[in-house]
Every structure is written in C-alpha cells, then in structure tokens.
Amino acid sequence: MKAIGTDQGFADWLTAFRPRALEAGIAPDVLDRALAQARFDPKIVERDRNQSEFTKTIWDYLDTAVSDDRIAHGQRALAEHAATLEQIEAQSGVDRHVIAAIWGLESAYGSFRGDTPTIQALATLAYDARRAAFFEAELIAALKIIGTGEVSVEAMRGSWAGAMGHTQFMPSSWWAHAVDFDGDGKRDVWSDDPGDALASAAAYLRHWGWTSGALWGLEVRLPDGFDYDQTTERVKKPVAEWAALGVVPMAGGDLPDHGQASVLLPGGAQGAAFLIFSNFQVIERYNTADAYVIAVGHLADRLRGGPAIEARWPRTLRALSLAERIELQERLGAAGFDPMGVDGRIGPNTIAAVKAFQRANGLVPDGYASLDVLNRLR
C-alpha cells in the first residue's frame, strides 16, 4: 500500500491511464474534458482509511445514524414525497421506509449529496494502491456515463468515494440499476428531484433479492444460558428453532417467520441482539458493514413508528483503533486462530477467529473484537 501520493506521481498515473481508457472505449474528447481539471486529493485517501461505520462502536454510529433529528427529517421527507415513494414501492415491492432510510443515511434525504467532483475522487482512489483496480473500473464507468450526455462533468459530483446523488450510487451501479422514473430520457440521480435516485435504489435492492413484505430483522431477547456460539450470520436456522431455544421479540409477541434467520450481536453479549432475515443480506449489498445495515433497518422501523432499541449498549467500551484491529488480526493468526487476512476490518472471518479464541479460553464466544480480547492475546 503506497503512502499519500504526490502531484507528479498522479500526473504520471494519468498519462499511463489514458491509453487504458481509450482502449475501454472512452472517446478522446470525453477523456480530455473529464480529466482536464482532475487533481490528486490526499484527503480522499485519508477518509478511505477511516470510514465511520468501520471505526466507531455500533452505539456511537447509531446515535448519529438514527438520531431524533434524522427520524424527524425522514418523516417530513416521507410526507413530502409520499406519492413518489408509494409508486416506487408498488412497482418494486421494496418497502418505502427502507428506501427512505437509505436516502437518509446516504445523503440526509438529499441535503448533503456531496460536492466532490466524481472524476477527481475516482482518479485519486484509482491512483492509490489499496483498491486501485476497483476504482479504476469505476472511473471508466463514470467516464462512460459522461459520454452518454446524461450528466455533465461539472454536474457529476458526489462523495469523496465516488458515490453519486441522493442515494450515492457508484458508477457501475448506475449502469446496472439506474432508473428513469420521471420519463425524461435521463437517469438523473444528481438533480434536486429525488425520483430517479429513489427508484434506482429500489431497483438495486430488488435485483439483489429483496423479499416484499418481510422484515430486515428485529431486536430480540436471548434466554439465560443461551449458546453464544450460535450468534453469527453464518448460523442460520428456521424461526421455529430459534423460538424453541427461547429467543423472543424484545417488543413481545411471537417471532415473525420470514424464512431462515440468524442471531447477531453487533455489540457483543452485553449489547442488543437482533434476529436477522434475508433482507439484511440484501441491504448488505449497499454497504457491507453490519453497523450500516442495522442503521438502515432500524431507521426504517423508526420512520414507520417503531420503538427505539431497548437493550443497553456497553458504552464503557471503546472501539479499537485501526492499528489495534490490525494487531488483533495478526495476533489471532499467530495464536492459531486465522482471521483469513489482515486488513483492519472486523468482518465475518475475524469474528469467527475471535469466537474460536474465546471458546478456547473459556470466554463467552460472542465474537466481539474488544480491547479485552486484544489484551489477552498480547
């Protein structure tokens, strides 16, 4: 992984990139217009290393993502765009509250769509070594969008990561899923009118298998003596089996049956527990972080009038720093509990390795990557 780059290095990269772009079918005039003002932005690389859904505790992330203000703003947005969202829901089968929740998390309901030039963002990240191939492919896709005439270089703006518009579509997702909802001949996810963007987000979720009428998940209460080794997205059981084990909805009543389900403990055994269904994995296609998926699902529930998360979080614990997460993965591997890579991100493989370490040492195997686990490995 290269360190923060240089202007000269970036200029050399652009020179090398040009023939690859031409070979990919980008017209020379489009390439000239799009890259004329592109500059290397080191702040973009820094932000790529520190995404909040991977660096905060789940409770700190949710405090912001599902704040009272975001809920109130979302309810106003639902009312203002009721006809549009109801039509999109009817056409796609995707719950309008989930669409609104994604809109809320991605751009604060269109209020903060990002003002970073998309070509500059993608070129910077394609030049950086961490995910160069991915971002170069997205850059090519963005240049092809400009070639269609559906958006200008100047209007193609978005986040530091190259995500665009109300629902922060990457260029490849635009090509695969963008919808011309208003019938004006353009798939315009950038304009003030959110219709095309919201319909595109719904099309994206439908493509990845959204189950109409099913929940993403719900907060549950686990019984005393519950086998915490069962709490992982990789363990799936019929709802009836979870009910037989004593898992009950936190809000009371019976567990809803939306097919195979898993129990997730995003804050460890001391925090909230969720029973999650296949729609959880569909939202994961938008962003793989569990914190993000739970935030979308919970915000949708709150926009629908549902209750706040009832369980208390272990707020005395702090998130591990990037260096500590890397150290944790290294030490797990050295101790014989392979996390399947060292990247500083706590995904399913690292969680499985933490569980194995906890189980081998007589600890509650909840998979939570805490400072206590790291200290025991030291």
Question: Domains in the chain, please, with CATH?
Answer: 7-49+113-179 (1.10.8.350), 217-303 (1.10.530.10), 322-377 (no CATH)
CA dihedral in degrees (216, 218, 219, 220; nearest 10)? -120
- CA–CA dist 363, 378 (Å, integer): 16
- Residue type at 10 in one-letter notation: F
CA distance 163 to 222: 38
Q: Is 274 helix (H, G, I), strand (E, B) or coil?
A: strand
Say how far apart CA 346 and CA 352 lie, in whole Å: 10
Give the integer Cα–Cα distance in Å for 356 and 37. Answer: 51
Is the pLDDT reported for residue 128 higher than 90?
A: no
Name the pLDDT band for 53 (thresholds 50, 70, 90): low
Q: Is residue 213 pLDDT above 90, yes or no?
A: yes
pLDDT, tens digit, 9 for 90 and up, residues 5-27: 568 889 999 999 999 999 999 99
Q: Residue 323 pLDDT > 60, yes or no?
A: yes
Q: Give percent of the chain with pLDDT exceeding 70.
A: 97
Confidence at 142, pLDDT banded by 50, 70, 90: very high
Task: Flag whether pLDDT at 328 surpasses 60.
Answer: yes
pLDDT at 3: 41
H or E element in which residue 378 lies = none
- The mean pLDDT of 219-244, rounded to a whole number, is 96
Q: Which of 83, 303, 66 minimizes the C-alpha distance to 193?
A: 83
Q: Is it the case that residue 155 has pLDDT exceeding 90? A: yes
Lowest mean pLDDT segment, chosen from 54-58, 113-117, 205-209, 325-329: 54-58
Task: Tell me what pLDDT residue 183 has.
Answer: 95
**Both ends of the chain: CA-CA distance in Å?**
26
Tell me how far apart the alpha carbons of residues 302 and 288 are, in angstroms, rounded to a whole number.
22
H-state helical runs in the chain: 7-23, 28-35, 42-48, 52-55, 58-65, 68-80, 82-92, 96-107, 118-127, 132-148, 171-177, 195-207, 239-244, 278-284, 290-303, 322-334, 348-360, 371-377
Contact indicator for 344, 289 with CB cutoff of 8 Å: no
pLDDT bin (cut points 50, 70, 90) of residue 226 is very high
Average pLDDT over every residue of 345-359: 94
Q: pLDDT per residue over 171-202, tens digit each? A: 999 999 999 999 999 999 999 999 999 999 99
Does the pTM surpass 0.75? The reply is yes
